Amino acid sequence: MFKSVYFPKSYYLLVCLLLADLAPVLAQTGVRQNLISQTTFEGANYLSGWYNNQHCCSYSVQQSTEQIKAGSNSLRFEIKSTDPPTSGAIRSEIGLDSDPLNDDRWYGFSVYLKDWLDDDAGESVFQWAPDNASGSASMALLASGGRFTYVTNSGGSANNILTDIGSVISNGWVDFVIHVRWATDTTGLLQVWKNGILVINRSGIKTTTVSSYFKAGINKFGWGTQSSSVSQRVLYLDEVRVGNASAVYNDVAPFRPRRDYFGGQ
């Protein structure tokens, strides 16, 4: 004869909490599709497919095991206030090929800002730079003044639209998923998710004036022209994916929590 076993209410509560925590993990265990590129910065060719000429020094861009979101490595960016300028600013960035106009692209990646003290001198941590090598970025995320500010530009600084998307998160991974329809007319679209929450959702807009390309890393454009109280910045990047027009959110979304804990995609 089987004996009934009594479990306290706290046991069932714990099980429910564990299942709730696993829900986003289980939701992302499907096969990713419609990817143009995928990088977790592993192996000897960890920058395959990237342009790596926007920095000054040997320490500027390095493969790292210090902070990891997926796999065994991430990419570490560092700048110092004593660095010589690169392309007119102190920066440490890598870039991908240009995205076509009048087409949709999906982007997913995770960034980790190390000991990111609030500082008013302007800086971006990712951007889409114009192909013509002049003018403002089509889009960028600023991390200055203690706030994440998403900037879109449809031609000239007077047309900048700044959207506050929350406090800068220091010493923790921040996941971004961005869906853009690159359009020089008003058929464009922009959706931005931060840590799984939709923070920008616009359609019927102009998203660029020329074709642009994705750049990740630090651009401290405020050094030298604005007051600053910091002399170093360090950023880690991991789980970068770019999806085509047929992609969906889960094709590019960074895995949460660390994917290697649960064998996820």
Specify the pLDDT at position 265.
41
Residue count of the chain: 265
pLDDT at 261 over 50: no
pLDDT of 50-80, one tens digit each? 999 999 999 999 999 999 999 999 999 999 9
* Mean pLDDT, residues 191-200 taken together: 97
For residue 138, what are its two tokens? 């089509």
pLDDT at 258 over 90: no
Specify the pLDDT at position 209.
87
- Beta partners for residue 20, in sequence order: none
**Cα 252 from Cα 236, distance rounded (Å):** 18
pLDDT at 39 over 80: yes
Of 26-30, 131-135, 157-161, 231-235, where does the model show the most confidence? Answer: 231-235
Q: Which residue has the higher pLDDT, 206 or 12?
A: 206
**Cα 195 from Cα 202, distance rounded (Å):** 18
pTM of the predicted structure, to 2 decimals: 0.85
Identify residue 176 by its one-letter amino acid code.
Answer: F
Phi, psi angle pair for 35, to nearest 5°: -95, 135
CB 178 within 8 A of CB 107: yes
Specify the pLDDT at position 3.
52
* Mean pLDDT, residues 153-178 taken together: 89
pLDDT at 2 over 60: no
- Beta partners for residue 182, in sequence order: 103
Would you say domain 9-262 falls under CATH 2.60.120.200? Answer: yes
* Mean pLDDT, residues 127-156 taken together: 88
3-state SS, residue 262: helix
Q: What is the dihedral of CA 197, 150, 220, 111, to 10 degrees?
A: 20
Confidence of residue 21 (pLDDT cuts 50, 70, 90): very low
Confidence of residue 159 (pLDDT cuts 50, 70, 90): confident
Confidence of residue 175 (pLDDT cuts 50, 70, 90): very high
């999806």: which residue's tokens? 243
pLDDT > 90: percent of the chain: 77
**3 state SS for 117-136:** CCCCCCCEEEEEEECCCCCC
* Mean pLDDT, residues 168-195 taken together: 97
